[in-house]
Amino acid sequence: MPPYPTLSGFVIPRHHTVISGQLDVCDKMQGTKNGELTAQQIENLPIDISSTKLLDWLIDRRHVNLKWQSAALIIREKINHAIQDMPEVEEIKKLLAGTYINYFHCLRIVELLKVSEESSKNIFGYYSSQRMKDWQEVVKLYEKDNIYLAEAAHMLIRNVGFEIPSLKKQIAKCQQLQAECSKKEKDYAESANSARDEYKQSCKQLGIKGEKIRSELLELVSELPQTYRSIEEQARKLSQVLEFYQAFVQFVNGSDEESMGDVCPMLQYLTQHGNTTVYQWRTGKVPDRVEEVKLSFLEDEEETKDDEIDFSGIDLDTGGIDFGDLGISVENEGAETIDFDIEVGDGTVTESGEGVARGNDALCLFEHIPTRNQFINEIIELQAFLGQRRTEMQGDSDVLTVNQFQTAPTIVQTKTLNDVTTMLSQVDDIYKRLTETRMQHLFLLIGSPKYVDRLTDSLKQKLSLEEKMLASREAVKQKRFDCLEDQTKLEPRVDALVGRTRELQKQIEGDISKRYKNRPVNLMGAINTI
């Protein structure tokens, strides 16, 4: 079997396949007579070259020198010198603006200079213009040893393998960051709304607007006496409930009337005497005088409002202070001590007589923690009793009809299911008012001055959380805009670089084609995916 010619002019066996840009001769010759190719068929065979191996292909076929880079550096220096003095031609400006000048650009510049430098042409047809001489020299240096072809191949490989993928990765990163920022914007907005709703809900539970937190909380404390009176009025209406409960307990336990006072003593006392002082509850006597208990944080609030000092009584010239009608004058000289005729004791206030309510005894029953807890416990006791009675009366057979209840007091036998349900509703209403979130906070406020600051800080923290989330949302929003701006700047660069690379591809393919009698040349591989 005769050997077949290859593109480089050497002969290889038929079973071999040429790689690195050469044709697969065996495949190309299928269908030919006796495996022989005509000269015309050989001239029409395309040359396929891998774009990533283009420079190696040119070096292997001795189209360019292996050490072309050292000569290319000298050419770059001459180009940098030549572009310092260029004519005001629009197309030349575009060629030089933001573009890596290569051989093909230099050819175009020489063509344009032939027009702009026409006046410098002498009678021998040579140009005396230094501009033309510089660029013609650059072209000659490029064409020596085909330096321009090696540089163009190197530039194409760099664009395809590094520059374009790098810019595309930056664009993809910008798009990814925009998506992440959009998601974070949504999350921060939801968190801000959640914090705001939680803040509003907390303020609603406390019964405040949330504009001036501390002041509004202290105003709630001042409304407590009115709330106490309202609860007291409701508690007074429980007399029938207590009577029903007491009669039932007495009948079941077989107790006498003297022991009836042991059932819900606090409720019995409230229905008869109201929300009195602890002193009266403890001693059974009305106090002669009640020393008002002032809350320290309320006093501090008043001091912050009246913290201005009137200096109108100070004589700045004499240095004395006028105390008005007190007849006291303090001078800078000759007055070492002042006798205000005040006796200073050990810091405690003493009072003769035993009819004075002071300290905890001066508090009302709802203000004092032990008595308030006792009242709530007795309300819970009534709830449990009435709830059980309602459950029993809702059954198929009312246990009150059983023989053992036929001898019960009239009040026990005559109460219907509706009556018990109504009484339970009254008790539940009092319990809810005393144990609702707002009242719990108010009880803590009057019981602990530091709780005012803690509650204020807690509400402010929820409000600041909303502000923090909104600030974070604005930050990621700005970051998203920045990424979008970067992407907007990168996309034209990619398009321009891809366009220049495509143009360079055609120029290289055309140049190689001329070296092989105008045979078709195709750069394959990554160049076709950019």
For the chain, give every domain's residue range: 4-45, 185-211+455-487, 213-301+355-453
- Kindly give the pairing relationship between strand 356-357 and strand 329-330: unpaired
Q: Among 106-115, 267-276, 389-398, which is the least confidently predicted range?
A: 389-398
Q: How far is CA 206 from CA 142, 200, 290, 299, 319, in A?
A: 86, 10, 30, 22, 51
- With 0-12 / 13-18 / 19 or more C-beta atoms within 10 angstroms meaning exposed / middle / buried, residue 276 is middle
More confident residue, 26 or 117: 117
Q: What are phi and psi of 212, to 5 degrees?
A: -125, 90
Q: What is the pLDDT confidence band of residue 333, given thresholds at 50, 70 and 90? A: very low
Indicate the average pLDDT of the chain.
Answer: 78
Q: Enumerate the β-bridge partners of residue 49.
A: 523
Q: Which tokens go with 58? A: 């040119």
User: Is a pLDDT exceeding 70 seen at residue 202?
Assistant: yes
Q: What is the pLDDT confidence band of residue 346, given thresholds at 50, 70 and 90? A: very low
Question: Taking a C-beta distance cutoff of 8 angstroms, is the pair 35, 4 a contact?
Answer: yes
**What mean pLDDT comes out for the span 268-297?**
83
Query: Does residue 205 sit in helix, strand or coil?
Result: helix
Q: Among 62-71, 306-315, 429-438, which is the least confidently predicted range?
A: 306-315
- Our CA angle for 271, 275, 281, nearest 5°, is 90
**What digits encode the pLDDT tens for the residues 244-269?**
898 888 888 876 555 555 788 999 99
User: Is a pLDDT exceeding 90 seen at residue 511?
Assistant: yes
**What mean pLDDT comes out for the span 174-198?**
94
**What digits encode the pLDDT tens for the residues 11-48?**
333 333 333 444 444 444 444 455 566 767 777 789 99
State the pLDDT at residue 109: 87
Query: Does residue 314 sit in helix, strand or coil?
Result: strand
Question: Taking a C-beta distance cutoff of 8 angstroms, is the pair 472, 466 a contact?
Answer: no
User: Is a pLDDT exceeding 60 seen at residue 343?
Assistant: no
Q: Enumerate the β-bridge partners of residue 364.
A: 277
Q: Among 124-133, 341-350, 498-507, which is the least confidently predicted range?
A: 341-350
User: Is a pLDDT exceeding 80 seen at residue 183?
Assistant: yes
State the pLDDT at residue 119: 63
**What digits encode the pLDDT tens for the residues 155-166?**
999 999 999 999
Q: Among 77-81, 124-128, 489-493, which is the least confidently predicted range?
A: 124-128
In single-letter form, the type of residue at position 131 comes to R
**What mean pLDDT comes out for the span 282-294?**
82
**What mean pLDDT comes out for the span 95-109?**
82
State the pLDDT at residue 436: 86
**What mean pLDDT comes out for the span 48-52?**
92
**What digits encode the pLDDT tens for the residues 417-426?**
899 999 999 9
More confident residue, 319 or 456: 456
Distance CA 472, CA 489 (A): 26
State the pLDDT at residue 493: 92
- With 0-12 / 13-18 / 19 or more C-beta atoms within 10 angstroms meaning exposed / middle / buried, residue 426 is middle
Q: Among residues 162, 151, 141, which one has the least CA distance to residue 102?
A: 151
Distance CA 154, CA 53 (A): 10
- H helices then E strands: how many in the chain? 20, 9
Cβ atoms within 10 Å of 208's Cβ, excluding its own: 19
Distance CA 60, CA 216 (A): 89
Question: Taking a C-beta distance cutoff of 8 angstroms, is the pair 218, 301 a contact?
Answer: yes
State the pLDDT at residue 296: 53
Helix (H) or strand (E) holding 502: helix 449-515
Residue 489, Cα to own-chain centre: how many angstroms?
Answer: 28
Q: What is the pLDDT confidence band of residue 329, given thresholds at 50, 70 and 90? A: very low
**What mean pLDDT comes out for the span 474-488?**
95
Question: Taking a C-beta distance cutoff of 8 angstroms, is the pair 516, 46 a contact?
Answer: no
Q: Among 197-211, 385-399, 418-432, 484-498, which is the least confidently predicted range?
A: 385-399
Helix-strand-coil percent breakdown of the chain, rounded to 5? 65, 5, 30
Radius of gyration of the chain (CA): 51
